[in-house]
């Protein structure tokens, strides 16, 4: 900015490179600004990145909180100005139903505007609206949380030790079902000596039965939001953030080629699946009804059937199938082996196996 101001001053008051040629002078000054103000600093930063980082991080840490205090009121003012300019009579167009949207997609596909694969992806996105927040969340057992009174140095060590970096962390008091707030790690790291409790933001709670798309529209409309999903008794079921929704969207709309490898056609009477495999998908794949009210995964079904946390090798009999708890991590069954009887295997082979369904 300083170089730009200096450039304008030179154009108006300073010595001219091309006398009586204001356009050429402007281009010459522009070239100098680009070279000295943009290209040269970037080259210097590429050659000596650590030195540049050390020189720039201190003023950034000092200015960032100040600029944020200025930016927030300005953003609010801009929204008010925009709202006053727009006509008060403007109303949003009514939403189309899922059937109407799918009909429009079919018409565009028949006209050649959309390819069959594109129309399929869009329809999968629409079907995401039938899912609840429970279908998209990260379970509490897989969620990293901090205790509110954790010392700042210890909390920083725990955060840096995570395998995957988290920008938002739930904070609890006494037990994980008592969430008192969420910690914005980026802001907190500006002042890492501040206690966690004083840096908390008010938690956002949503029910596990809430529609996933509705939750995204109402609560998760920016990457910074993190919602705490509660069950019917007020206990913490898990967390749901912007990234969780996007992952669910991409998984359904554009599944990876290897995503079908989780459910493999049984060979020699055995079939191994992850413990978090959904019961509805597994039932469809093997042609055996496994769905159970209140349960979502095969690991949870094995645990409920046995009635206790098993050790590796424990067997649960479910609808003529022997389900073996292969791997246990903490209080979760992470891998299950399904052993089919001879009659069931013959029926699977006759029907083309799980892949046919």
- Taking only the tens of pLDDT, the chain with its 357 residues reads 777 777 777 767 666 667 777 778 778 878 888 888 889 989 999 999 888 888 888 888 888 888 888 888 888 898 888 878 876 655 555 566 767 777 888 888 888 878 887 777 777 777 766 778 887 888 887 888 999 888 988 888 888 888 777 888 899 988 888 899 888 888 887 777 888 888 888 888 889 888 887 888 777 766 567 889 988 888 888 888 877 766 766 655 444 444 444 455 555 567 888 888 888 778 877 778 887 777 778 888 888 888 888 888 888 888 888 888 888 887 778 888 888 765 454 444 444 444 333
User: Topology of 266-356 in CATH?
Assistant: 3.30.465
> Is the pTM value of this prediction over 0.75?
no
> Which alpha helices (H) appear in the chain, and where do they start and end?
2-12, 22-34, 40-47, 49-85, 98-111, 116-127, 133-136, 152-160, 185-190, 212-218, 242-253, 279-286, 298-306, 342-350
Distances (CA, A) of 34 to 3, 152, 274, 295, 345: 9, 43, 55, 61, 71
Asked whether 218 and 135 are in contact (CB, 8 A), the reply is: no
Tell me the C-alpha distance between 317 and 324, whole Å.
9
Q: Right CATH number for 131-252 from 3.40.50.150, 3.30.450.20, 3.10.580.10, 3.40.225.10?
A: 3.10.580.10
């Amino acid at each position: 900015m300083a170089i730009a101001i200096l450039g304008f001053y030179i154009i108006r008051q300073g010595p001219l490179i091309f006398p009586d040629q204001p356009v050429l002078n402007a281009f010459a000054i522009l070239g100098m600004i680009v070279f000295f103000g943009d290209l040269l600093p970037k080259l210097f930063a590429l050659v000596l990145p650590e030195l540049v980082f050390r020189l720039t991080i201190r003023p950034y840490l000092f200015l960032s909180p100040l600029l944020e205090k200025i930016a927030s009121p300005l953003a609010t003012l801009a929204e008010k100005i925009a709202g006053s300019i727009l006509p008060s009579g403007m109303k949003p167009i009514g939403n189309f139903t899922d059937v109407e949207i799918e009909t429009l997609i079919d018409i565009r596909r028949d006209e050649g505007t959309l390819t069959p694969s594109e129309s399929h992806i869009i329809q999968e996105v629409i079907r995401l609206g039938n899912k609840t927040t429970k279908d998209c969340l990260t379970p509490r057992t897989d969620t990293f949380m901090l205790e509110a009174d954790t010392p700042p140095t210890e909390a920083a060590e725990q955060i840096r030790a995570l395998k995957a970096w988290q920008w938002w962390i739930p904070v609890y008091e006494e037990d994980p079902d008592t969430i008192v707030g969420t910690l914005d790690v980026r802001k907190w790291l500006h002042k890492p000596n501040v206690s966690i409790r004083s840096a908390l933001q008010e938690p956002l709670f949503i029910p596990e039965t809430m529609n996933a798309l509705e939750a995204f529209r109402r609560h998760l409309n920016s990457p910074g939001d993190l919602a705490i999903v509660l069950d019917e008794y007020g206990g913490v079921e898990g967390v749901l953030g912007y990234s969780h929704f996007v992952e669910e969207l991409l998984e359904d709309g554009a599944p990876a080629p290897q995503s079908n490898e989780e459910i493999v056609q049984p060979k020699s009477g055995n079939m191994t699946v992850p413990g978090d495999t959904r019961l509805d998908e597994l039932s469809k794949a093997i042609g055996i009804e496994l769905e159970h009210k209140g349960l979502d995964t095969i690991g949870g079904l094995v645990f409920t059937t046995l009635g206790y946390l098993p050790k590796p090798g424990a067997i649960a009999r479910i609808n003529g199938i022997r389900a073996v708890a292969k791997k246990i991590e903490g209080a979760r069954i992470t891998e299950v082996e399904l052993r089919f009887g001879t009659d069931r295997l013959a029926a699977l082979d006759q029907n083309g196996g799980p892949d046919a369904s």
